Amino acid sequence: MQPQLRFPYDFIDRVIISEADIRTRVKELGEAITRDYQDSERLLLLGLLRGSVVFLTDLMREIQRPLTMDFMLVSSYNKSESSGFVRIDADHKTNIRGWDVILIDDIVDSGYTIRTVRKLLLDREPQSLKVCALLDKPERHKVDIPIDYLGFSIPDYFVVGYGLDYDEKGRNLPYIASIDLAKGKD
Ligand code: IMP
Ligand code: MG
């Protein structure tokens, strides 16, 4: 029998994607990107802080091409529910003109974040722009956006771990877990 997992946060309900499954999938994504960017000499992984950090740093080590990384800090105005208003708190440093950019985020929910950042980046005339997300919640999409590289599609759960947070907690978990706010309260 598996030893009972002890969760370091009381709001965790259950593991929905294991550490091993994440590792396998990230490796596959890295292989796909390596193939697709075989001819690229200017590949930039552009991560959205802070959620994409764990994913990006694992993914970059599975890509067998020269690359650089950069980040943007963006937030949705509304705290719990995504709103259409996305604020750029810190911009990337690299001049992306002529670069092959892969925009990397932890999870696509409404799609507003990716849509907004994508539009902004396209105005800066990269050579190409693709989107890579670890997770997607298709039931929650409010706008249509392309996801060129996707880790996993999940149902409409709120999840934490592997970079994703609930109120800034849970980012350090090596797996993806759903949360239950009633848990640990009785
Ligand atoms: P969107 O603009 O609605 O697509 O929001 C995407 C952002 O909301 C992500 O980058 C996350 O920061 C956050 N988010 C959405 N769903 C979750 C979740 O289940 N757990 C943690 N963060 C989430
Ligand atoms: Mg985010």
Note the ligand closest to the C-alpha atom of 82. 1
Nearest CA to ligand 1 atom 3: 110
To test the pocket of ligand 1, the residue of 76, 109, 117 to mutate (highest count of ligand atoms within 8 Å of its CB) is: 109
Higher pLDDT, 43 or 82: 43
Nearest CA to ligand 1 atom 8: 109
Q: Which of the four pLDDT bands, split at 50, 70 and 90, describes residue 181?
A: confident
How much distance in Å is there from the Cα of 29 to the middle of ligand 2? 19
Query: Exposed/middle/buried for 62, CB within 10 Å: 0-12, 13-18, 19+?
Result: middle
On average, the pLDDT of the chain sits at: 93
Q: How far is CA 63 from CA 14, 24, 43, 46, 47, in A?
A: 31, 14, 11, 14, 15
Q: Is the pTM of this model over 0.85?
A: yes
Position 77 scores a pLDDT of 67
Q: Which of the four pLDDT bands, split at 50, 70 and 90, describes residue 53?
A: very high
pLDDT of residue 186 exceeding 60, the answer is no
Q: Which of the four pLDDT bands, split at 50, 70 and 90, describes residue 161?
A: very high
pLDDT of residue 185 exceeding 80, the answer is no
Instruction: Confirm or reject: Cβ of 109 under 6 Å from ligand 1.
Output: yes
Position 78 scores a pLDDT of 62
* pLDDT tens by residue, 61-111: 999 999 999 999 999 866 556 667 899 999 999 999 999 999 999 999 999
- Residues bordering ligand 2, an ion, CB closer than 5 Å: 51
Per-residue pLDDT, averaged over 145-162, amounts to 97
Position 180 scores a pLDDT of 92
Note whether 87 and 102 are within 8 A (CB).
no
Nearest CA to ligand 1 atom 20: 159
23: helix, strand or coil: helix
Q: Which of the four pLDDT bands, split at 50, 70 and 90, describes residue 34?
A: very high
